[in-house]
Amino acid sequence: MKVTIVYDNTVYQRGLKSDWGFSCLVEVEKTPRILFDTGTSGSILLSNMQKLNINPASIDEVFISHPHFDHVGGLPDLLQVNKEVKVYVPISCPKPSGAKEVVSIEQPHQIHENVFSTGELDGIEQSMAIKTDRGIVVIVGCSHPRMAHILRAASQFGKVYGIIGGLHGFNEFDLFKDFGLICPTHCTQHKAEINSLYPESYIDGGVGKIILV
């Protein structure tokens, strides 16, 4: 599995632009290319993608975690340059126009052989669970649902190995004690505390960061 962060509050690779929001490209072997969320600004999203040599036309699917502006703001611009994508949204999210197909997800759902949705949790947000050789990697938008709910939902697909994405004010740090990968991004408030507790598992995010599992 390869995850490339294309939108985040911080920059990892010089020459890219940071902004409030989150998006990452998820590439799993023998699976369509999936863009997880789209950040706030379509122009920033597309500019970062260009500089990272990611052709918007190569995106097969878009997975929207929740309908807040900093996660769906770039979607209209993406759909202007690629109308062939299939978009997965949580059931409470308004269906975007301009996509080839829109799938509303309420319950846990298998999207591809090794890619799953937790289903919409706590009435607001879905997370992605990816099965890897090391276990399940969870990708989250903002973690508005309780982390225990997210991890419980993801664990039905296998033992959770790690997490990538925005964690907001999450502070139940013991939930991460067995993780081999922790990459807090975007809205995470307690990065320093998580890093101090789990330095061997912690990695910095930022636009341009590539994570291989």
Domain ranges (residues) in the chain: 2-212
pLDDT tens sequence across 29-43: 999 999 999 999 999
pLDDT tens sequence across 148-178: 999 999 999 999 999 999 999 999 999 999 9
Distances (CA, A) of 48 to 14, 81, 160, 177, 204: 11, 15, 30, 33, 18
Architecture of domain 2-212: 4-Layer Sandwich (3.60)
Strand order across the 2-7 sheet:
101-105, 86-90, 61-63, 34-36, 23-27, 2-7, 210-212
Q: How confident is the model at residue 20 (pLDDT cuts 50, 70, 90)?
A: very high
User: What is the Cα–Cα distance from 58 to 129, expressed in whole angstroms?
Assistant: 22
